Amino acid sequence: MELADKVCVVTGGASGIGRALAERFADEGAAGVVVADRDEVGALRVAAEVNARHPGRAWGTACDVASAEDNALLIDRATAAFGPVDLFCANAGVGVGTDEQTDDDLWDLAFDVNVRAHVHAARLLVPEWLERGEGWFLSTASAAGLLTQIGSAPYAVTKHAAVAFAEWLSVTYGDRGIGVSCLCPMGVDTRMLHGSIGVGGVTEVAARAVTTAGDVLTPEAVAGVVVEALADGRFLVLPHPEVATFAQRRAQDPDRWLAGMRRLQAQLV
């Protein structure tokens, strides 16, 4: 995926990784960048900032990715503004809940935003991409989707599901012109990492687990790794390379890995 002259849609684009992706895509020569977010004011602000450097390249809009109707409207509007979507970044996410006792409404929110939103977008885009013979789906999951997340069962479970869906898309359509990449960072300097428990934030224990595991990267650094991975056609995008080592240890000796995670958890609580 070379970004020059491509039409890109970025959900969760008002801040954090989404904002950095939108800005970097425009810098790479994208023909159009659609910045979508529940925070309409933020989405419009990011689009205006991109347009200040690259006139006419960006457009901001409100979108609740948990809504199938909003996803359809988003893609229709993006197509009307710039043409058919070449790259869709399912980047919006929430970190909510603690353990199995977390209320159903928070479990539902985590599944709706972190998983079902990806399904909604793929349902709309895959048929067109198959007809065109090209298209790219970028899923923002998390290192938690390859490992786990101490302190938040809903986050761990739904990020695993996001990775699984991205893998399934690649297996099913990878030989039919559709590229798939899955972004799995650890700590990134965003509102989700620093927020308190609630919509868009993680628990204090979960945040400490992330920040003690490795470096906290800037969103801009993550966007740079994404651009390189897209150019290389890589599925797994790891801004923190050590995640690959952690995942290998988990696969090689699950019992030892689980015991190590329990020790880490005991140090954090």
Instruction: Report the catalytic residues.
Output: 155
N-to-C CA span, the chain: 43
Residue identified by tokens 């470096």 is: 215
Q: How far apart are CA 81 and CA 165, in angstroms?
A: 29
Q: Which helix (H) or strand (E) holds 202?
A: none
Q: Which of 189, 248, 186 is nearest to 214 (CA)?
A: 186
Q: How far apart are CA 114 and CA 42, in angstroms?
A: 20
Residues in CB range of 267: below 8 A, 6 or more apart: none
Radius of gyration for the alpha carbons in the chain, expressed in angstroms and rounded: 18
Q: Are 187 and 215 in contact (CB under 8 A)?
A: yes
Cα–Cα distances in Å, from 122 out to 31, 62, 72, 118?
Answer: 22, 19, 11, 6
Q: Are 159 and 142 in contact (CB under 8 A)?
A: yes
Q: Are 33 and 25 in contact (CB under 8 A)?
A: yes
Residue 189, classified by CB atoms within 10 Å of its CB into exposed (0-12), middle (13-18) or buried (19+), is: middle
Cα–Cα distances in Å, from 44 out to 14, 15, 85?
Answer: 8, 11, 19
> Tokens representing 51?
């347009």
